[in-house]
A and B are shown apart, each in its own frame.
Chain A
Amino acid sequence: MKATPQKEQTRARPARSRGSISRWLGLGIGLLVIILFFSVASEDWFTIVNYTLIAAIAALGLNVLSGYTGQVSLGISFFMAIGAYTAALLGGPQPTGPLDPQGFALPFFVWLPAAGIVAALVGALVGPTTLRLKGFYLGIVTLALVFIGQYIFMNLRPVTGGPQGRTFPVPAIGAASIDQQNSFFGFALTSGQQYFLLVLLVLVLSSLFVSNVMRSRAGRAFRAVRDHEVGASIMGVNIFRAKMKAFILSSFLAGVSGALFASLIRYVTPNYWDLTLAIQFVAAIIVGGIASVWGSILGAAFVFGLPQVIDYFSLLPSSTNSGGLNSGNLNALIYGALIIVFLLFEPSGVLGLVQRGQRLIHKMRNQQREGGEVAEITDLSDAEAQFHLESAAHAKDENG
């Protein structure tokens, strides 16, 4: 994944106009697929896709921290929980009995941004202590955050409902709550369709934001910190500030995603925000593609969407406690194997596979046109091997 800049330099690019035409074509086809899906899909499919898109938002957040900035985090579920409980506290119904969890019944356009902002604030609070640590230590401290979080959520009954859990608010536009069928401007939309539009909007906005940040000074600083901390600081990057920015942005996205997650599921106990959830997100960015916006989305599709699809078609008997191969177990096996296979053979994830395919097509096309002259430039295996040697040598230097 670190080798991408080198790859781009050596790759033979098509002429710019052709590039932009194919880009518009891609966008057009994408829109068409979305519209087609939107008009024909059943409500079950909307649930699966909405769940995946919400996961993609948090995966994107984790990618900002782990993929672009290189800081290991096993604690994203903690920040999702903070977002979700902020949403529940601000947007939940006012308590009717003394045992009901608190709620201020504020409108949706207050609680959704607030979920992100509060998570970001908590990130800013926790960041200075955790970000002093590196690599594995950082991973373990973020893991500790998940457990400490669960303890707090279990005991903070007025907000979280304690071990029994609580209900979460549903986004409402004016008087129209989107868990019911509503009509806007003469179109009747089901609950799934409304959620889909909302979640897609949030995902597109966050994707655009992240990809723009990564092209800015801050984004380049993130990558510099990831690739070589000492080198980055010599170039004048304030390492601590870069890490803090990445941590805060990542917590913000996780918070928003957590609020949407909880609102889609409607009822969540504190156990939901556990280490397994956090690890699923790490798996998602590895399987999808590290340090890439599309990678986060593809990864969420593989790790969060695929199991639901396998469940939906129920090829195998549903889960029981007695053992044997069932769909839940099959999913877990696939998920574990995907992590190992991708890390071993394609560290840039599904996105790397896609890019490999594109390169192959380019190569074949160029060979046809120019009689195979370009082929030698596109052979990257040596450059990549060289790079791994170099990075191994760097790692050695840092430890020595």
Chain B
Amino acid sequence: MAYFIQLVFAGIAQGCIYALIGLGFSIIFKASEVINFAQGELLLVGAYIVSSGVFEWHLPFLAALLLGLVVTVLIGLLFERFVLRRMIGRPVFSILMITIGLDIILRTIVIIRWGSNPIPAASPFDVTSGINAGGIHFGANDIWTIAITVVICAALFYFFRYTRYGLAMRATALDQEAALAVGINIRTVYALAWGIAAAIATLGGVFLAIDSFAIDPTFGATALLAFPAIILGGIDSVSGAVVGGIIIGVVQVVTAGYESHVASVLGAGIHQITPYLIMILVLLIRPYGLFGTRKVERI
């Protein structure tokens, strides 16, 4: 039982990371109907800069984190300003591919700068730090991941509900032309969405890096697992991204913990595809996700 609770706890922490990455996706999608495939590489760049900041330039962890956030937010803003703004009104397929183009370029730059061997991840925590209770180890990094996710969700909730720009973003998501008509500056809204998304994804990336001790250029691929999470929650639902992320994380970690018992039937590596299996199942029953808005087609 302790083992199971341990797994569930680790799963929730893992799920919070997916949720942070997924939040980035769904904020951008909500504002501009763009799926940002480069999210994974944004967090890759962020994690590498934080690690270099700590080990190469000997900055304190928080300063390195701030530097990482600034760089990824800048990349996001520049890409939105100079590339995506020219793509408004083009097919989904093209917009999706152009973010894949950015993804490839960012990953290559990381490989050119840092090489493709793993480098250690910067972490403010000791591996053993945390709380032990009832035979279960609650790691400090996991506790922090969960706490930061809760704080960010609360902040986003407040932002979207009560602030001027949060309302402007929701209005833009609802109807771009009507938002323009009431005087909302859509360019600011897009820039804001990209900035927030890049920052949140970088935070997720840093926690992911702390979790896995080392980072290498394939690390950004983990962001792909945020796709099942946001689809599960409904792609345009911010709270859905969190619930979806946690479900995916818990199921994945629990299957990983128990799959060796059923290896003769299922073989190795089933936990790598459980997120996708859950996603397909949900899509078959509720194609708009658990919390998404049902799309009505009028003819």
Contacts and interface: CB of A to CB of B under 8 A. Distances in A.
Interface of A: 66, 70, 72, 129, 132-133, 135-137, 139-141, 143-144, 147-148, 151, 154-155, 230, 234, 275, 279, 282-283, 286, 320-325, 329, 332-333, 335-340, 343-344, 347, 388-389, 391-392, 395-396, 398-400
B132 interface: no
Contact of A132 (B117, B227, B272, B287): B287
B105 A337 contact: yes
Contact of B177 (A148, A338, A343, A396): A396
Contact of A323 (B111, B175, B287): B111
**SS class, residues of chain B in contact with chain A:** helix
Given A321-B115, A323-B113, A140 B279 contact: yes
Interface stretch (B3-11, B83-91, B196-204): B83-91
Interface residues of B, number: 57
Interface string B106-122: 01110111111100000
Interface of B: 33, 35, 83, 86-94, 96-98, 100-105, 107-109, 111-117, 175-177, 221, 224, 227-228, 231, 235, 266-270, 272-273, 276-277, 279-280, 283-284, 287, 297-299
Contacts of B276: 144, 147-148
Contacts, number: 142
B271 to A, nearest CB: 10
B104 A323 contact: no
Nearest to B287: A133
B225 to A, nearest CB: 9
A151 B273 contact: yes
A344 B83 contact: yes
B100 A323 contact: no
Given A147-B273, A148-B276, A347-B90, A339 B100 contact: yes
B297 A343 contact: no
B224 A143 contact: yes
Given A132-B287, A151-B269, A151-B270, A329 B111 contact: yes
B232 to A, nearest CB: 11
A398 B108 CA distance: 37
B192 to A, nearest CB: 21
B265 to A, nearest CB: 10
Given A72-B96, A324-B112, 18 more contacts: A70-B93, A151-B273, A155-B269, A230-B299, A275-B224, A283-B97, A283-B100, A321-B116, A322-B117, A332-B104, A332-B108, A333-B104, A333-B109, A336-B101, A340-B105, A343-B87, A344-B87, A395-B89
Nearest to B118: A321
Given A143-B224, A333-B105, A72 B100 contact: no
B66 to A, nearest CB: 25
A154 B269 contact: yes
B110 to A, nearest CB: 9
Max chain A C-beta neighbours (<10 A), residue from B35, B177, B228, B283:
B283
